[in-house]
């Protein structure tokens, strides 16, 4: 939904306001988390976890009705295109095998038959899918566009940005809720931990217009690199701040400030490099790369925390050294992302006839 919503902005927002609009829509991911963390914790603490699913269903239905009511229908150019069901199913199977193998490798064992079968199967299926996409006349994802250096390097940076973003989301709630008697835990309840992390999500909303204006003034590449470097600085700050709740709050605020800039800039770079009719698919693929980064980050961090542990009164807990190492990993991945983003070439100048071509949301879909 998010990449399609970003693609629709090309039809609904004028060019001058487009960077800020993209940044704001991207920031809603953080805002949703800011609201959802303490709300979910409160519901679980005072009610049943099943209530979360009823609330989720109700919110989703309300959003669908608001889309029908308030989002205008943009006329297409009369062209009809097919949806590649076989392409989509093949891609889904390959990605499920890949994600399942990566996320469960540390639990099932990286050399276990299940993990090897999943990873080998994922590679084989995705290679066949890529071969088919290059041969069909109406591909689900145009891999030739994905190979454009500006798009390719942005997607590569997105993997490392996703790793860096998710590292804080995975580590900080654990530190907040770790028993204080362990010597490095902060002993917070689930509700308190959610409230301590909520301001970081709201920070994304506050800074998204700033990121949009910065993109308009200096370009999306500058905003992306700046955001990634701010994330890296936040992880370095976390080495000092993880000992107190206020220290973690400041750390999360700095990291999410960088996320706000980076997440708002990446779709803008993608949209400037692909044909306007392909922005939906291109942004969707970029979101997929970020998801690959978060999944890989979860697997790697889980492996680190499972390997560096202490025995706390008969209970195995991640050690303080393990948390410090995961924060350094987050900083390192951010630096790799910054190097990748630094190699993104300048946008090619569009031809006058290309600028005059109409854009439709139907094509983006």
- What digits encode the pLDDT tens for the residues 23-45? 788 777 777 777 888 888 888 88
Buried b / exposed e over 184-214, threshold 16 CB at 10 Å, is: bbbebebbbbbbbbbebbbbbbebbbbbbeb
- DSSP-assigned letter for residue 310: E
Judged by average pLDDT, the poorest of 105-109, 132-136, 147-151 is: 105-109
pLDDT category at 357 given cuts 50, 70, 90 is: very low
Which pLDDT belongs to residue 60?
92
Between 285 and 344, the higher pLDDT residue = 344
Between 302 and 116, the higher pLDDT residue = 116
Mean pLDDT of the chain: 84
pLDDT category at 224 given cuts 50, 70, 90 is: very high
- Helices marked H in 274-360: 279-307, 320-342, 352-355
The pTM assigned to this predicted structure is: 0.80
- Give the DSSP H or E segment for 316: strand 315-318
């Amino acid at each position: 939904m998010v990449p399609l919503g970003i693609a629709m902005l090309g039809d609904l927002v004028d060019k001058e306001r487009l960077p800020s609009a993209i940044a704001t829509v991207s920031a809603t991911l953080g805002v949703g988390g800011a609201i959802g963390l303490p709300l979910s914790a409160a519901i679980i603490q005072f009610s049943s976890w099943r209530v979360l699913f009823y609330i989720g269903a109700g919110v989703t239905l309300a959003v669908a009705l608001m889309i029908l009511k308030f989002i205008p229908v943009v006329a297409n150019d009369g062209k009809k295109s097919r949806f590649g069901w076989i392409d989509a199913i093949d891609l889904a199977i390959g990605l499920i095998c890949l994600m399942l193998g990566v996320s469960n490798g540390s639990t099932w064992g990286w050399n276990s038959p299940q993990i090897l079968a999943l990873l080998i199967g994922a590679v084989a299926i995705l290679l066949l899918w890529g071969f088919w996409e290059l041969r069909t006349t109406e591909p689900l994802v145009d891999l030739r566009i994905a190979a454009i250096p500006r798009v390719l390097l942005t997607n590569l940076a997105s993997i490392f940005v996703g790793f860096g973003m998710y590292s804080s989301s995975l580590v900080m709630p654990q530190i907040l809720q770790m028993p204080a008697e362990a010597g490095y835990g902060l002993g917070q309840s689930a509700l308190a931990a959610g409230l301590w992390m909520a301001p970081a999500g709201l920070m994304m909303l506050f800074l998204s217009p700033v990121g949009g204006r910065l993109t308009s003034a200096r370009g999306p590449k500058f905003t992306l690199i700046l955001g990634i470097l701010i994330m890296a600085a936040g992880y370095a700050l976390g080495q000092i701040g993880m000992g107190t709740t206020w220290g973690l709050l400041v750390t999360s605020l700095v990291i999410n400030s960088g996320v706000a800039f980076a997440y708002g800039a990446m779709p803008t770079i993608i949209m400037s490099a692909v044909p306007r009719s392909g922005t939906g698919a291109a942004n969707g693929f970029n979101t997929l790369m970020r998801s690959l980064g978060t999944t890989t980050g979860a697997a790697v961090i889980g492996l680190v925390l499972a390997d560096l542990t202490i025995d706390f009164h008969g209970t195995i807990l991640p050690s303080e050294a393990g948390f410090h190492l995961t924060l350094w990993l987050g900083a390192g991945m951010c630096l790799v992302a910054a190097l990748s983003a630094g190699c993104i070439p300048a946008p090619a100048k569009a031809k006058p006839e290309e600028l005059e071509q109409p854009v439709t949301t139907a094509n983006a879909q």
